[in-house]
Structure formats: C-alpha cells, structure tokens
Chains A and B, each alone.
Chain A
Amino acid sequence: MSGPMIEVVNLTKRYNGVLAVDQISFTIAQGEIVGYLGPNGAGKSTTVKMLTGILRPTEGTIVIDGLDLLKDPIEVKRRIGYVPETGGMYESLTAYEYLQLVGRLYHLSEEILDHRIEEFLKLFGLEAVMHERLSSYSKGMKQKVLISAALLHNPKVLFLDEPLTGLDAHSALLLKELLRRLAAEGKTIFYCSHILDVVERTCTRVIIIHKGRIVADGTVEQLKELTRQGTLEDIFKQLTYSSDIEELAQAFARSILEMGG
C-alpha cells in the first residue's frame, strides 16, 4: 500500500468569523472505513463539504489520492463519490434521467452507463419506478438513487453523510454489507453519522469531532481502552456532553406536560 488516500492538514472553516472547523488534521489509508461522529453543529457536514470540494476551506490543505483538492479540483472530483445528507437532486427528473446525467458528467460510455443504471436500480428494488419522476419518490427511495449516483463511476473514495436516512431495514443492511465489501476491494470510505451503533459495527476507525475540533481518533477498541467506557455511546457522551442527558429529558417532558391541552 502506498501513501494515505485522504490527507487533511490544519483544515479550518470560519463562518462570519465563527469557527466551524478548527485546525483538524488526519490521514486515512486506502481500504479504511472511517466513522466521523459529532453532535449537531460540531462541524461534520462542513468537513465533508470541504472534502468534496463544495466548500472552500478558510485554511488548510486536503490531498486525496495524491492530488491537492484546491489545486486540481476536477481530477479529485473524478475520484470521489458523495452521498449528501439532504436534497442534492433534481426532482423533476426521473431516476433514470438523473443517473444518466450524473454518469455523463463523468464521461461514462453510454453502454456502461445504461448497464450500471439498470443494475443498481434493480439491486435497490427501484427498477419498476425508474422512469417515474423523483418528486414522487419516498425519502428512502431518493436516498437509494443518491447512493447509486455516488457509486456509478466506481470512485476510489466515498463520502457518505448520514447515508441511512430514510432507508428501510433491508436496504440499510444491504448498504452496510456493501460498504464492507467495497472497503475490502480497496475503496476508502468516510462515513459521517449520528447513529453510533451502526458506526461501531461498520467502521474500522472512528473520529469524534466536538465544537470543530477532533477530540478522539482511533479504533473503537482503542477508544474504549482510553476512556474506560464500555460502548461507543458512552465514549461519545463522555467526550461531547457536559450536562446530564437524563436530567435534560426529564425537564423537557415536565415542560410539555405542564402545558396541558
């Protein structure tokens, strides 16, 4: 194995002077599945958007497959696939048309493209509705199309931002197994999520971000040992929450019940 597939150095993003991501650095090797965790507003999606070239960092460098993202964005984008957290598709198109557009942007030949679209949609159980407009799709069906679009050009690196949103149990299992297989084939996967047990079971390594800074980086076992906690959930709670969650929930429930109605 040669150098790292993803190399991030001092990555920083400021919005209106407020630090969203603060000097984060990490490297990810080929074939790794890295879980990127953090509470709401920690800077997860901002990091992913910077890594995929959607947002420009305020400071820092991003190197993917040996190429500097800021210097050679087009070449880097050819090598990556991205499943966004929300939206990210033209809903007036049919699933087939949308995937066709995506494939053509990557210059895939029409023959390969047709074959892959049909195959992917069949695997996800969408073949019967592939010529219907995306606006008529459920959330889970749209998510399946987004996942297909990210894999269509066989990327070396996959960025997934909450990929299980809206997926039914069967599709979620399929995706998790697919990720493992892809990693075994040498694909690098950056998995951004809130669902701790999925990350615990799927990822080979976990990075936890809190208030824009990396607070933990290692395998689940390493983190358990380091923090002397039994589960990833406990580690996460210890590193990212200052107040007692049970107390907060109780106060919330009391406030709702006091309103009556």
Chain B
Amino acid sequence: MRHQLLVLLERIARRFGIDPHQYWHLLRISLLLDFRRQSALSSGQSTPSALLTTCLVYGLFSLLFALFTFRVLDSFHYSLIFLSYSMLMIAFIVLSEFGATIVSPDDYEILGHRPLASRTYFAVKLSNLLFYILLIGSALNVFPALFGAFSESAERLFPLIYFPVALLACLFSAMLVVLLYGALLRVINYEKFKDALVYVQIIFSFILFFGYQVLLGTISYWERAAEIGSRRALLIVPPGWFAGLVQVGLGRWERDFVLWAGWGMLMTGFLVSAGLRSFSLDYSLHLARLRAATAERRRAQPLFRRRIAHALEWLLARSPEERTAFYFVGRMLRRDRMLKLRLYPALGFPLAFIVLGIMEKSLTDPFLPGKKFPSAAFLTVLVGPLLVMNFQALLPYSPEHAAAWLFRVTPVRDLVRFFAGVRKAFLVTLLLPLFLLIGMALSWFWTPWHAFLHAALGFALSYIFLGIAFLFYRGGFPFSQEPVKMTQTRQVTLAFLSLPLFGTFFFLLYVLYKHPRWPFVALGLFLLFGWIVNRVADQRNARAMRIRHEWECGLA
C-alpha cells in the first residue's frame, strides 16, 4: 500500500516535470542545512531554537488576541480577523525572511552546473518555504481555532474546519508573495534586479505594515457593512474568501459564503496552476540571469557633498575608531539589502498611525487640554524604540559576514569609541532625520513647537532605549555573523514584546505635558540619562569584546 502510494506520488511529480529522486534528496539536505547553520560566535543562535521561540511568541500573541475577541465576535468575523492577521504576518515573514530562500543566485552557483531541472529546483525551494509556513501558520492559528469553538454562533466543529482553512490561507499568502518575486523577475531589468528588489520589498512591506494597522481600524466598518448587507465587497479581500470557506465548512450554505468560498478556491487554483507552473519553468533561467547581474557603477559623489560628509564625520566622530565605525555602519544602513529590508518598513508605523489618527480624530495636540487620550500622537513615536530594537537585533548579521575578519586582525585599540561610532551612525543616519520628519508632519496639525517638542521627547526616549538595548547586546563586531534563518524574525518578534514598556513610559509622560515647563526639564533629563546609559553600554560592550577576543585567541 505504502509502496503503491509512493509510486503514485512519483508519477505525479514526474508529470509536473519534477525528478522525485533529486527532489527528495535536495529537500532533505536543504532542511538539514537550515537546522545545522548556527552563528559561529553566538550562543544558541540556530534555526530550530529561533523557530521555536518565534512560534511560541506568535502562539502567545494569538492566544491573547483570541481571549479578547472570542466572546464578542460571531464566528464569521472572528475567522475574518484571525485569517487577515495570519495572512499578513505570513506575507511579512516571507518577504523579510525568505527572499533569499526563493531568489538566491548564490545557491545557484553550487547547483547550476548539475543536471537539475528548473521545476525540481523550484519545488525544493518552495517546499522548504512551506515547511516553515506550515509551522508558523499552525502557531498563529491553533489557539484561535480552539477558542473559536466558543465564539458567538460557532459550533464545536469550528476548530476542525477553521484550522485547515487557516493553513490553506497561509499557503495562499506565501505563494502570492512568491509570485510577486516571479513577476518582478520577469518585468525588471535583470542587471538591476538585486537593487530593485530591495526597494520593491520595502514598498511592499510598507504597504503591508500600513494595511495591517488600517485593517484593525476597519473592523467596525466590516461589521457595519455586514449589517447593511454589503458584504459582497469582501470578494476583493482574500481573508474574506477563506472566512467564507470556514462558514461553508460549518454547513452555512448562504449565497455570500458560497460565493466567497468558491472564488477563494478558484483563485487558489489559478495561483498554483497558472502562476507557479510558469514561474517554476523559467526559475533556473531567472537565477542564471541574476547570477550575471553586476552592480551598476555608481557615479562618484560630487566634491561638495563629499566635503560635507567628511566634515560631519570629523565633527561627530573624533577618534579614528569612532570614525571607522560611524562610516562603516552608516554606509551599511544605506546599502545593506537585508538591513534596509528589515529596518525601513518600520517607517510605515508612524505614517499608519498619523493616517489612523486623522481617520479616528485622535491625532489631537497632547499639550492642549482634552478629554480623550491622544493615542495616535503617542503611538506615532513608538517607531523609535521599534527601530532601536530591530537595529540591535540585526546589527550582528550580514551576508557579508566573512569580511569581519578585518576587525579581528586590525588593531582596534579603543573599543568604547568604536561602539560609540556604531550608535552615532544609527542616530545620525536614521533616528534623527526620522524624528525631524515626524515633527514636521505633526506641525501640520499642531502648534509647530508642540510638534517638535513631542518629536524631541520621542527621540530622547529612543536614545535611552538605544543605551538599554546595547546593554543587552551580545553580537560582537557589527555584521560579523552569518544570518541564520528565523533568528531575525525571532529577535524582531521579541522586540515587539518590549513595546508595552515603552507605551507605559509615554503614558507617564502624558502627565508632564499638562505642565508648561516640565516637558523641557524632562527632555534635558532624558538626554542626560540617555548619554549615561549609552556610555555604560559602550564600556560593557568593549569589555565583553575584549574578553571574547582573548577567549578566541586562547582557543586558537
């Protein structure tokens, strides 16, 4: 029986142009590689542990979310909300973590000259991705599935129906992003593909982040729409299709549910057959073209701009070590594909909350007396700690990690100044311009000096956060470790857990806003405290680096 099943599967695979023998061995090896890869210098930074932590944290988020919603929503809206959440999270993870899995010309360097059909190669890549998606999708949906059984109008069958549908929705979401890569590979000039992909991913992540925030704010809209019978608009919202499928699975054969479910199945079928089949056929060809892509020659910066940049470096980073780190990290923040992809989408956060604040009329000036807590004003500046936590989590990793031997053989005498340079690069390149922009944006709605004072306080608190984050930094020299699959998602997910702490901080700050002089005093104190914490963090990191270096030398 088992043998017959294997023969049948092999026959199906061959029909799709996949060599089952090669597929099986390559898939086994690709997962083995993921699970073996471990950051050389970090302790316990491996894919299994990162995957486990990410799944646990996502499971916890979903549990809390489900606890708050299962008694107040009917089974349809409950499914709609959780399916939207899962699909967006999956799309976000695929975009930020698995870009290199699907489109990796480096991998092609190893296998490109082997007799491997394009479809076999693509099937291995896709299966590797789906393995992670199914695990994360399960973590995101197991509690919502269980709690859904007790939601309004649900039945005991709900978990059995919802869970597989949710996994199907996650697969749909992942495949949609994979197809986006495929479409990009087709339309964009191959020589510019690598650079272009970064920006497209940033824009796409930006839209996702923004869309997610807006989605939460539109729950009431969908509920209203349901009441007045205009739910047909859900035909353009993929989570709506799968929520309809859950209802059909529960035996509710209403016309709308059947329509959405049918449409969803049709779209899924179309996505898999038309899209993936054609993409997989040209997959190796695309990778070969990518392999040939070379970076475009950049025009040299004008002399005037170079002089300004040098003057800025000289002013802000006086010692050679500090200047080296400042220059290096500053350039990487502008050029490193992975870093940009993981950091810049967070900029959608303030934009999303400003738009939501306008929509919900909560973007009121916090310095003026008012009855309602101006949540949008405070949420907008949460981008600071979010960026800080992401930066701290991402700093040790880079695809160019092998080049970090340079720091180990060159005489970096003053490690304290070196780490000061790292932080300053982040502050000057990213945080300062961002808070200036926030100040400018808010001054459109508030008295300008209120807007800039609010932004300055946000910056000062982020500065303190930076020091605290660096107190817990264990990554060694910047960009010195190999990126290990899932570790960054884990780090960033853990970073989210610290946001309530920052929120509490700001709520306390709100009290100060009601007094004319206190915000200025607080600003001064925050900057002073930030300077002290950052200084202590630099000394701690320098000491840790020295100990690590001695340990490595001892080992050698």
CA–CA, A93 to B25, complex, Å? 13
Partner of A54, one of B33, B37, B113: B113
Of A102-110, A166-174, A212-220, A247-255, the one with at least 4 CB within 8 A of chain B: A102-110
Chain A residues bordering chain B, tally (CB within 8 A): 30
Q: Is the CB of A15 within 8 A of B21?
A: no
A224 touches B (CB below 8 Å):
no
A66 touches B (CB below 8 Å):
no
A15-B292, A16-B294, A105-B25 known; A56+B285 contact, CB < 8 A: yes
Q: Is the CB of B29 within 8 A of A101?
A: yes
Closest to A150 in B: B113
Of B5-13, B62-70, B104-112, B541-549, the one with at least 4 CB within 8 A of chain A: B104-112
**Segment 84-104 of A: residues with Cβ below 8 Å from B:** 84, 87-90, 92-93, 97, 101-102, 104
CA–CA, A80 to B114, complex, Å? 9
- Taking the closest CB of chain A, its distance from the CB of B334, in whole angstroms, is 22
A55 touches B (CB below 8 Å):
yes
Residues of B within 8 Å of A55, CB to CB, are 288, 291-292
- Taking the closest CB of chain B, its distance from the CB of A256, in whole angstroms, is 18
CA–CA, A82 to B111, complex, Å? 11
Partner of B191, one of A16, A78, A88, A133: A16
Q: Is the CB of A15 within 8 A of B113?
A: no
Q: Is the CB of A105 within 8 A of B108?
A: no
Closest to A86 in B: B109
CA–CA, A78 to B113, complex, Å? 9
- Taking the closest CB of chain B, its distance from the CB of A117, in whole angstroms, is 14
A90-B29, A93-B33 known; A104+B113 contact, CB < 8 A: no
B213 touches A (CB below 8 Å):
no
Most chain A CB within 10 A, of B108, B109, B289, B294, is at B109
CA–CA, A223 to B296, complex, Å? 38
CA–CA, A97 to B22, complex, Å? 14
B187 touches A (CB below 8 Å):
no
Residues of A within 8 Å of B293, CB to CB, are 15
CA–CA, A53 to B111, complex, Å? 10
Q: Is the CB of A105 within 8 A of B26?
A: yes
Residues of B within 8 Å of A106, CB to CB, are 114-115
Most chain A CB within 10 A, of B33, B108, B285, B293, is at B33
B100 touches A (CB below 8 Å):
no
Residues of B within 8 Å of A54, CB to CB, are 108-109, 112-113, 288, 291
Interface size bracket, B side: 20 to 34
A77 touches B (CB below 8 Å):
yes
Partner of B115, one of A49, A77, A92, A93: A77
CA–CA, A219 to B296, complex, Å? 39
CA–CA, A52 to B22, complex, Å? 19
- Taking the closest CB of chain B, its distance from the CB of A211, in whole angstroms, is 17
Residues of A within 8 Å of B33, CB to CB, are 90, 92-93
A1 touches B (CB below 8 Å):
no
- Taking the closest CB of chain A, its distance from the CB of B24, in whole angstroms, is 9
A128 touches B (CB below 8 Å):
no
Most chain A CB within 10 A, of B111, B114, B117, B296, is at B114
**Segment 57-90 of B: residues with Cβ below 8 Å from A:** none
CA–CA, A102 to B294, complex, Å? 28
Q: Is the CB of B22 within 8 A of A77?
A: no
Q: Is the CB of B292 within 8 A of A13?
A: yes
A74 touches B (CB below 8 Å):
yes
Closest to B107 in A: A90
Closest to B37 in A: A92
- Taking the closest CB of chain B, its distance from the CB of A144, in whole angstroms, is 17
Q: Is the CB of A16 within 8 A of B113?
A: no
Q: Is the CB of B292 within 8 A of A74?
A: no
B186 touches A (CB below 8 Å):
no
**Segment 4-42 of B: residues with Cβ below 8 Å from A:** 21-22, 25-26, 29, 32-33, 36-37
- Taking the closest CB of chain B, its distance from the CB of A21, in whole angstroms, is 11
A56-B288, A104-B21 known; A92+B191 contact, CB < 8 A: no
Closest to A133 in B: B36
Chain A window 116-158, contacts with chain B (Cβ cutoff 8 Å), 1 for yes, 0 for no = 0000000000000000010000000000000000000000000
- Taking the closest CB of chain B, its distance from the CB of A68, in whole angstroms, is 15
Residues of B within 8 Å of A75, CB to CB, are 115
B196 touches A (CB below 8 Å):
no
Residues of B within 8 Å of A56, CB to CB, are 285, 288-289, 292
CA–CA, A82 to B29, complex, Å? 21
Partner of B114, one of A89, A97, A102: A102
Q: Is the CB of A52 within 8 A of B288?
A: no
CA–CA, A97 to B29, complex, Å? 9
- Taking the closest CB of chain A, its distance from the CB of B460, in whole angstroms, is 43
Q: Is the CB of B288 within 8 A of A74?
A: no
CA–CA, A236 to B293, complex, Å? 30
Residues of B within 8 Å of A16, CB to CB, are 191, 294, 296-297
A15-B191, A56-B289, A92-B36 known; A80+B26 contact, CB < 8 A: no
- Taking the closest CB of chain B, its distance from the CB of A194, in whole angstroms, is 21
Partner of B113, one of A82, A87, A89, A101: A82
A16-B191, A101-B25, A107-B21 known; A84+B109 contact, CB < 8 A: yes
Closest to B29 in A: A101
Residues of A within 8 Å of B108, CB to CB, are 54
B116 touches A (CB below 8 Å):
yes
CA–CA, A15 to B293, complex, Å? 7
Chain B window 268-292, contacts with chain A (Cβ cutoff 8 Å), 1 for yes, 0 for no = 0000000000000000010011011
Closest to A107 in B: B21
Residues of A within 8 Å of B116, CB to CB, are 74, 77, 105
CA–CA, A89 to B111, complex, Å? 9
CA–CA, A74 to B112, complex, Å? 10
Residues of A within 8 Å of B191, CB to CB, are 15-16
CA–CA, A39 to B146, complex, Å? 67
Q: Is the CB of B289 within 8 A of A52?
A: no
Residues of A within 8 Å of B114, CB to CB, are 77, 102, 105-106
Residues of B within 8 Å of A15, CB to CB, are 191, 292-294
* Beyond A54-B112, A92-B32, A93-B32, 7 extra complex contacts between A and B, CB < 8 Å: A49-B291, A55-B288, A56-B292, A75-B115, A97-B32, A101-B25, A102-B114
User: Can you list 15 A-B contacts with CB-CB less than 8 angstroms, sorted by A residue number?
Assistant: A15-B191, A15-B292, A53-B113, A77-B113, A77-B114, A84-B109, A87-B109, A92-B33, A92-B37, A93-B32, A93-B36, A97-B29, A105-B115, A106-B115, A107-B22
Which A residues have a C-beta under 8 Å from some C-beta of B?
A: 13, 15-16, 49, 52-56, 74-75, 77-78, 80, 82, 84, 87-90, 92-93, 97, 101-102, 104-107, 133
Which B residues have a C-beta under 8 Å from some C-beta of A?
A: 21-22, 25-26, 29, 32-33, 36-37, 106, 108-117, 191, 285, 288-289, 291-294, 296-297
| Across the A-B interface, the 4 shortest Cβ-Cβ residue pairs | A54-B112, A77-B115, A52-B113, A92-B36
